[in-house]
Amino acid sequence: MRSTPEWFTLEAKDIDRMTVFYDAFLELDVVDEAERETVLAAGDTELRLRAPGSVPRGGLHTHYALTVPEREYDDWYDRLDERFDLVEHSFGDARSLYFYDPEGNCVELGESDVDGDGVTGLFELVLEVEQLDAAVDFYERLGFEIVDDGREEGRVRLTTGEFDLELWSPRLGIADARGGVHVDFGVGADDPGAVAREVADDALSVTSVEEGVRIRDPDGHYVTLVA
């Protein structure tokens, strides 16, 4: 499985309001628009804003993290601190700031030694799961590897390389963030069909779609393996 996520989706009752929010505060550009969905460029990852309707739906109260260049972090903090009641947390030498969008999603901006300007991509996505051990096993078979096993706290962090996936039992994290429910996201895979077969017996559904193979996991999240 390749390391970079292709997209993640948030449900938006008011797509126009959410689009204005992400343009104004994170400077994300619109790259595509449809009747019930607007796509923004969050660096190398698409942020899809989707109106309530058919499945897969966008995620609700989803916590996710975007990278910004280390040299810009203080500027981002000062700018956002004028508008939001920011929460800041350090992970070793790296700092992250947290705030909320109009739909109650917890947005994290984390400093990183990356090239480019502004938001450069998604580095973490958090899913709420009912049975943590089973969910960890499911995503390990999809090619994720455990990098932080915090099961006593109700969370496990896995990675494909540059992109991390956090699986949480229902809980509150930093800044009272929650894992998303019915999240829809896409991840690159060298052989989507072969990867999907590893979990086919436990998945709620496995469907071939134009972009690759879409899997619905046991908690109702949709992950599409993109060729």
Among the four given CATH numbers 3.40.190.10, 3.10.180.10, 3.10.300.10, 3.40.50.300, the one describing domain 5-183: 3.10.180.10
Comparing CA positions, the residue from 15, 14, 54 lying closest to residue 32 is: 15
Q: Which residue has the tokens 């086919």?
A: 200
Comparing CA positions, the residue from 13, 43, 9, 46 lying closest to residue 27 is: 43
Q: Determine the straight-line distance between the first and last CA of the chain, rounded to whole angstroms.
A: 10
Specify the pLDDT at position 162.
76
Specify the pLDDT at position 2.
55
d(CA 27, CA 110) in angstroms, rounded, equals: 16
3-state secondary structure of 15: helix
Specify the pLDDT at position 116.
87
pTM flag (> 0.85): yes
Specify the pLDDT at position 161.
87
Specify the pLDDT at position 4.
77
d(CA 151, CA 2) in angstroms, rounded, equals: 26
Segments of the chain scoring below 70 in pLDDT:
1-3
Specify the pLDDT at position 3.
63
